[in-house]
């Protein structure tokens, strides 16, 4: 498993440990980033172009997921 895969897996695990993010999910960003600091440091230390490509794809998946979920929420609440 690549360093990027490990970081993404750990991020998912940290996010799943929260049942809710309340009214302001942005309040959790610094806390979660600090929990991932070791993983991020290791990724930087062993950085390869394919690691970053994997992170870009994961970011795009998250963006698509957000748009779809927002769309579903707007349909469900209307």
Q: Determine which helix (DSSP H) or strand (DSSP E) holds 72, and give its type and residue range.
A: helix 49-76
**Residue 78 confidence class, pLDDT cut points 50, 70, 90:** low
Nearest alpha-carbon partner for 12 in 42, 44, 39: 39
Residues with Cβ within 8 Å of residue 32, at least 6 apart in sequence: 11, 14, 15
Residue 76 has a pLDDT of: 86
Give CA 67 to chain center in angstroms: 15
Q: Which span out of 13-17, 43-47, 72-76 was modeled with the highest average pLDDT?
A: 13-17
| CA dist., res. 20 & res. 25, Å (int) | 9
- Chain segment 20-70, per-residue pLDDT in tens: 999 999 999 999 999 999 999 999 999 899 999 999 999 999 999 999 999
Domain residue spans of the chain:
3-17+25-76
């Amino acid at each position: 498993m690549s360093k990027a895969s490990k970081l993404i897996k750990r991020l998912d695990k940290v996010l799943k440990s929260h049942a809710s993010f309340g009214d302001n999910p942005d309040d959790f960003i610094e806390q979660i980033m600090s929990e991932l600091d070791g993983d991020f440091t290791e990724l930087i230390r062993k950085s390869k172009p394919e690691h970053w490509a994997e992170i870009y794809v994961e970011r795009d998946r998250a963006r698509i997921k957000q748009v779809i979920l927002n769309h579903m929420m707007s349909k469900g609440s209307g």
